[in-house]
Each structure stands twice: as structure tokens, then as C-alpha cells.
Amino acid sequence: MSILASGDLIEVWPLLSDADRLEGFRDLDQPEAERLFDALEPRDRAWIVGRLPPSDQQVALFKRLTRAEAESVFGALEAPNQLWLLEQLPEGERRLWLRWLAPDDTADLIQETEGEEREALLNLLDAATRKEVTGLLAYEEDAAGGLMNPRYLRLRGNITVDAAITYLRHQSTGTAENFYYPYVLDREKLIGVISLRELLAANPDAFVRDVMMTDLITVREDTDQEELAARFAETDLMVIPVVDEEGRIKGIVTVDDIVDVVREEATEDIQKLGGAEALETPYSQASVIELWRARIGWLALLLVLSFFSAQAVAAFSPMISHLAVLSALMPLIISSGGNSGSQAATLLVRSLALGEVSLSDIAKVIWREVWMGLLLGVSLGVIALVGMTLWTALMPSAVGPSFDVRVRVCLVAATSVVGVVTWGILVGTMLPFVLKRLALDPASASAPLVATIVDVTGLLIYFTIARLVLAGELAT
């Protein structure tokens, strides 16, 4: 996109894509950028600040926002970016923003710090909030206890509906995150829930315990975030209470918290499927060292595994020297196996993540995929046979003058594709299950890992078939 002045950019602003808007804004010098910024609608100003990477410009523009705009931007930032922005503000403003956040969001932010910096931030909180946040920090970051908000509306079951409505009216300006589902407690033990709509429709003189719902859906404090996300998907609830082993409510998790979890989990799985460790920070903010550390481990492992491929080729080098066309077919064979295995692994990792299959389904899934491997292998084998037939007919010198050898080579290619594709799908299917059984992340069954394993073993399958089919030719 060409560089425009602020006046020109504001005229075409509604016509630009988000990427072009951000690029055009970042191309402006500071005075022009501020002139454009002040001319934009509040929604666009907040969008610009939220999309800018951590920088002096982001801080300067953040300070130009109205309080409402700034709250919208600050609340939408990821915890690492919130922390960076706080560090650029004076202590007074830092205290105001830290206290503005909900306790669970504050805990996420403070989780990014250590030692003296963590203590300094905790000391900026009031005593009650500091106690709540310290309690949340004691939980695992990816457990329900680490995601929950300890502030929620609570009622007693022995008060009337009219008294409950009066109480909730007084609480409407409080700090509870969820105002639509008050929870009914008996000595801190969760015994029911009632929606605000049902409360308003109930007989004012009825007791809350007589109109509340007692069929509760809850999760324990140590419930993993992936399981928690699945529970939200199954129930379509907006809020799920978190209880301890004695049924005492500890807090609530809202669906907007789970949206962030799902996005983080999906990003992590995609990065692992690509053969890299999950990045702790957004790609645009990660240092070169962080990117190197995330990638080097898997690449080094795959390189070591590739030596076995080299050894397999070396072991069959007399066959290759006798019939050079065998080396020409190697990419065709191993790529078919690697691609089919990677495809199978991706499908299984996603199905495991969504709960569509579990470890108890392993026999059924493997049986299904073996048949799928044979079906796909035969389909691709037919294509390979046709392709090889045309190739040997058009370029007979590539194989040799003997018609019998050309036919045998075509059969080797087709049969090897069937065997290697079936084996690749079996490996790609089993590896996620094996990792799951070992309590490891199935997403670690990355496409490059599956492809490398299938490359090594696929070469053995290919050369074994070649030795059997071409035994007469190789003996001469």
C-alpha cells in the first residue's frame, strides 16, 4: 500500500481492509498519526491502539483515549501486553488499572511476573482483592481454579423472592462479573441457582429455595481447561460454577474466559502440528531466540531420524546401482506415505481434542483406518500404475529396453504405494493414541514427525517389495 497523508487516509478509511488501515497508520510520522487518530471514530481509535505492538507509540495513543475507550482497549489486550503497558505508566495509573481488572484477569497478568515485580504489583491491590488474587495464583494456570472469578452473586435459600430482588438491586453496581445467575448457598455449599428472569417472574412471597434449580452443572477446581471448554460446548451455558470436593462454591468461569482458552489451545495445537513448540508470546513480539528455541528441538530430532533414512538407502545401494530407476521412484513412494500419515495424524489429533474419540476407541479407530489405508492405497496405487505405464512407454530408456523389466518396475511402484500409504495411515493413527496413553499432548504427533518416521520405514517397505518383484533382474 502506498504511503498517504493523514487527510487522504481518513477519506479512504472506510474502504480499507484492517490490514491496510494498520499499515497505513504505521507508515505515518508521529504528528500525522496523531492528527489521524484524533479524527477517527472512538471505535476505530480503540481498534488502532489494540492492534499496535508494544511501543512508545502505543503508550502515547493509549493516553489520548477517553476512559471508556481505554477500558475497552486494556480489557481486550492479552496479559503479557497488559503487563507491558502497565510498566510504562506511572504508579498511580498502574494502581487504578490493576484494580479495574477482575480478580481472574489480574491473576493472569501477575502470573506473567516473578519475584519482586510480582510482590510490587500485589501491593498495589487492596487487601480483599490481594487475598482473592493470591488464592487464584495458587491454582494451576490451565485449571478451572486458575480461570475462575471469585466474585459472583449469592443468595440464601430461606429469603423471599422479593427480598432477593431487593438485595440484587443493591448489588447491581458491585463487582460481580455475572449478574444474571445468582447462586443459592447454604453455609458456602452450593445448593441451587436461579436466573434473574425466573426470579422476576416468581411469586414475590415464595422462598428462593422453592423456585431455584437444583440440577446443577459444576466443575472441580482442578478440572483441566480443555475439559472445561468441552463442558461449555456440551451445555451451551454462559457460566459454570467451580466447586471444591465438598461442594462449596469457589468461583465461576464465564464463556468469554473459555473463548480465550479455546483460541490459545488451538494456536498451541497448530504450532505443535507444524513441528514447533508452542510460543508463549505472539509471533510478532517473540524474539529471535524465542523463535529459535521453539523450532530447534523438533528440527534437530527430525534431522537425527533422517540419518536412519540415509542408512536405509545405503543398505540397498547395490540394488540402486544395478537398477538406477529405483532411486528415481523414491520421492514418489515416501512422499505418498508421509502425506497420508500426516493427514491421518491431523484428523486424529483434532478428533481427540474435540472428544469425538477417546482411548477406549483405539481398536475401532485402527480397524477403520486400516481399511481406509487400503482403500486410499489402492486408489493411489492405480494412479501410480497408470502414471508409471505412461512414463515407461514415453521414456523407455529411463528403465531399460526390456519390456519385462518395465512391467515389473511399474508393479513395484504401484504395490509400494499401496503398502507405504497403508503403513503411513496406521502410524499417523497410532501415534496420537500412544502419546495420549503416555499423558503427553497428542498434538506433539506433528506432521513432520509422522512424515519422517514413515519415510524411514517406508523405504524399507519399498526396497523389500522391489527385491521380491525384481529378484530375477537383480540377480543378473
Q: Give average pLDDT by consecutive 10-residue segment, the chain, 476 residues.
A: 62 80 81 82 80 81 85 82 87 89 87 86 89 87 86 88 87 65 88 89 90 90 86 86 90 83 74 69 72 81 83 82 82 88 86 81 90 93 90 74 79 92 92 84 74 86 87 60
Outline which parts of the chain fall under CATH 1.10.357.20: 285-475
Q: Please give the CATH number for the structural domain made up of 285-475.
A: 1.10.357.20
Task: Please give the pLDDT value at position 1.
Answer: 44
- In this predicted structure, what is the pLDDT of residue 451? 82
Range list for CATH 3.10.580.10 in the chain: 154-273
AA identity, residue 357: V
- Neighbouring C-beta atoms of residue 234, cutoff 10 Å: 10
Q: What's the rounded Cα separation, in Å, for the pair 319 and 297?
A: 35
pLDDT value, residue 2: 44
| CATH class of the 6-142 domain in this structure | mainly alpha
Q: Which CATH superfamily is domain 154-273 in?
A: CBS-domain (3.10.580.10)
Cell 438491586 belongs to 169
**C-alpha cell recorded at residue 416:** 509400494
Q: What is the pLDDT of residue 416?
A: 92
Query: What is the rounded CA–CA span in Å between residue 252 and residue 230?
Result: 16
Residue 308 grid cell: 536412519
DSSP classification of residue 111: T
Residues of the chain with CATH 1.25.60.10: 6-142
- The whole-chain average pLDDT of the chain stands at 83
The answer to whether the beta carbons of residues 70 and 62 sit under 8 Å apart is yes
Give CA separation, 60 vs 9, 53, 65, in Å.
20, 13, 9
How much is the pLDDT for 417? 93
